[in-house]
């Protein structure tokens, strides 16, 4: 029997009309929706904003071990777990990011789950969806054009063309545009200067959209964005260019959360898409708050492992929005842990228990981050694959008992919500009783810490590094921002997601390494300072064989090859 593709499974589903889903599952009236066809809608912005005043449900964070080529299935597990909770009678919703079209057409493919644990409509969500990313790109590029226009018309603000830090964006992987020269062709075509492109999900405008809690907050954050330095060394902001109003106009509809559903009709808020290795990697605050206002349990996901994704979710998003999860789920797979220990076979016909034991410290480290650094109760979701072996499952169960953490196998990819019932029950058992006082947030650093100290605390407490280093120019820049009043900002470390250090080839759970920062960027509107380590880039490139080569329209006009 030939296995169905993700797209074929999605096409066979019979979803509820989005207005019926909202009414039946969330008690949202049709007047509170702005439908985009029959299968997706935005919440009307006034209604979405009003939900923040309602009693909030309980939030559960889904994170994972360090990403590997075999994959972990964090999004799939989030969706399958939510479907299982709905089967158990819980009023549940998920809050997830929208995939970027760069990875969709590049190496990764789609990011709406897989198998029988997917979001619908999967093709729309992976592509243009409700146009939010296009709105971010338009607002961002309007500002970029205004900067060069200001130079062309006399440069009244005294912008130093060599110190413009605001690039252009597009939602496609294109390494050739990382560094470019613009303004060539003579006087009529502007001021020649070096420039470049980032991918849309690396834009500070995207981060601002995802952290804003209202239209006035969005406008104020846009106004604070620093885009360049003046010839006198002063910061040049969006407010000085008088662009925050026009940018807010372009983003006003994009600020409203999007509502869709899973294959089993569980409500899903899919909104925003900042990358987790170069931004804060979480869906929007607006969507999370909306979900908490209409559901008793909300599952949300942070990109990559607990070291990058959970750290930024907790230290940036939760701190900024006044949120805190009641518990966490750490997703792992046997094959990924075996890969961490040196077993790269795929599929694996026989177990390699020695490799699995060598890879287990990686899982242990992520569990320690969640439980010991942030004080959250957690359960390990063992995302099942067909080539898992009984002896490997037994080894992981023994490890869990020794560590005092539940390790629960889940088969949601093959069986949908029914395959994650045991995981859902284990998660419910570890939640504090409904109505119990919320746990006090436990952040890695204090807002009052110096920026350098914040970076040092993340590196040593979360990555288990021995320390951090940076050139004198980077240290001086951080100190200058400190003096300029930006010292209370959070820090957002941009590095490889494939290791606890900056060397992507390191496996397991290295410690005692040093994190070298080579560049820092001020994201004053988003509310953090980005510190770049290693060879991370803000504009990915396409692989030798991009996923775009298999995507097409069939004879019936339906999309094929999207996975």
Whole-angstrom Cα distance, residue 81 to residue 179?
43
User: Which of the residues 58, 91, 108, 475 is marked catalytic?
Assistant: 108
Is 496 tagged catalytic? Answer: no
Q: Which of 139, 276, 426, 531 is catalytic?
A: 276
Decide: 186 and 491 in contact? Cβ < 8 Å.
no
User: 19, 68, 75, 76: which is the annotated catalytic residue?
Assistant: 76
Catalytic residue among 385, 399, 500, 517: 385
Pairwise CA distance, residues 195 & 200, whole Å = 16
CA–CA gap between residue 131 and residue 121 (Å, rounded)? 14
Q: Is 500 among the catalytic positions? A: no
| Catalytic residue selected from 166, 313, 339, 413 | 413
Closest by CA to 27, choosing from 284, 269, 267, 283, is 267
304 catalytic per annotation: yes
User: Does the annotation count 97 as an active-site position?
Assistant: yes
10 Cβ neighbours under 8 A, 6+ residues apart: 118, 120, 121, 122, 123, 263
* Largest interatomic CA distance in the chain: 72
User: Quick count: other Cβ atoms within 10 Å of Cβ 122?
Assistant: 26
**Cα–chain center distance at 337:** 22
Of 214, 252, 263, the closest CA to residue 50 belongs to 214
CB 10 within 8 A of CB 121: yes
**Cα–chain-centroid distance for residue 44?**
24
Beta partners for residue 526, in sequence order: none
183-188 long-range contacts, CB within 8 A, separation 24+: 183/148
- Would residue 76 show up in a list of annotated catalytic residues for this protein? yes
Active site residue 129: no
Q: Active site includes 276?
A: yes
The answer to whether 74 is a known catalytic residue is yes
Q: How far apart are CA 217 and CA 214, in angstroms?
A: 5
Report residue 122 CA to chain centroid gap. Answer: 18
Distance from C-alpha of 511 to C-alpha of 509, rounded to nearest angstrom: 7
Active site residues: 74, 76, 97, 108, 276, 304, 385, 413
């Amino acid at each position: 029997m030939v296995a169905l593709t993700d797209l074929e499974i999605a096409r066979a589903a019979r979803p509820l009309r989005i207005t019926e889903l909202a009414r039946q599952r969330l008690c949202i009236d049709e007047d509170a929706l702005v439908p985009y066809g029959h299968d997706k809608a935005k919440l009307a912005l006034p209604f979405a904003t009003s939900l923040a005043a309602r009693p909030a449900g309980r939030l559960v964070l889904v994170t994972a071990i360090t990403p590997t080529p075999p994959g972990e299935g964090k999004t799939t597990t989030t969706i399958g777990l939510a479907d299982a909770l709905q089967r158990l009678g819980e009023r549940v919703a998920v809050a997830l990011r929208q995939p970027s079209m760069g990875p969709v057409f590049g190496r990764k493919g789609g990011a709406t789950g897989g198998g029988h644990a997917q979001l619908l409509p999967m093709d729309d969500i992976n592509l243009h969806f409700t146009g939010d990313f296009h709105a971010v790109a338009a607002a961002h590029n309007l500002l970029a054009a205004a900067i060069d226009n200001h130079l062309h018309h006399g440069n009244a603000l005294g912008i130093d063309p060599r110190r413009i830090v605001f690039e252009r964006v597009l939602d496609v992987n294109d390494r050739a545009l990382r560094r470019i020269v613009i303004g060539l062709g003579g006087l009529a075509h502007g001021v020649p200067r070096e420039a470049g492109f980032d991918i849309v999900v690396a834009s500070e405008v995207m981060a601002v959209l995802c952290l804003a809690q209202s239209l006035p907050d969005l406008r104020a954050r846009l106004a604070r964005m620093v885009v360049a330095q003046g010839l006198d060394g002063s910061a040049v902001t969006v407010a000085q260019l008088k662009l925050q109003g026009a940018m807010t106009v372009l983003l006003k509809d994009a600020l409203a959360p999007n509502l869709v559903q899973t294959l089993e009709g569980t409500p899903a808020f899919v909104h925003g898409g900042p990358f987790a290795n170069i931004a804060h990697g979480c869906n929007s605050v607006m969507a999370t708050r909306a979900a908490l206002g209409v559901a008793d349990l909300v599952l949300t996901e942070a990109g990559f492992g607990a070291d990058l994704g959970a750290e930024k979710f907790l230290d940036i998003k939760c701190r900024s929005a006044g949120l805190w999860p009641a518990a966490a789920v750490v997703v792992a797979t046997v094959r990924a842990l075996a890969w961490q220990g040196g077993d790269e076979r795929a599929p694996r016909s026989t177990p390699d228990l020695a490799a699995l034991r060598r890879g287990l410290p990686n899982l242990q480290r992520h569990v320690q981050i969640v439980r010991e650094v942030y004080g959250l109760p957690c359960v390990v979701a063992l995302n099942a694959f067909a080539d898992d072996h009984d002896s490997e499952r037994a080894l992981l169960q023994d490890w869990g008992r020794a560590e005092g953490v539940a390790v629960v196998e889940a088969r949601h990819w093959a069986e949908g919500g029914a395959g994650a019932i045991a995981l859902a029950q284990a998660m419910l058992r570890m939640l504090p009783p409904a109505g119990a006082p919320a746990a006090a947030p436990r952040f890695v650093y204090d807002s009052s810490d110096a920026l350098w100290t914040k970076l040092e605390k993340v590196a040593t407490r979360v990555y288990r590094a021995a320390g951090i280093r940076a050139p004198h120019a980077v240290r001086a820049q951080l100190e200058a921002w400190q003096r300029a009043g930006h010292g209370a900002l959070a820090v957002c470390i941009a590095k490889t997601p494939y290791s606890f250090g900056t060397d992507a080839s390191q496996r397991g759970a290295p410690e005692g390494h040093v994190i070298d920062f080579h560049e820092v960027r001020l994201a004053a509107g988003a509310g953090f300072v980005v510190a770049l380590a290693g060879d991370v880039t803000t504009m990915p490139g396409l692989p030798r064989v991009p996923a775009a080569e298999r995507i097409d329209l069939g004879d019936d006009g339906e999309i094929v090859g999207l996975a």
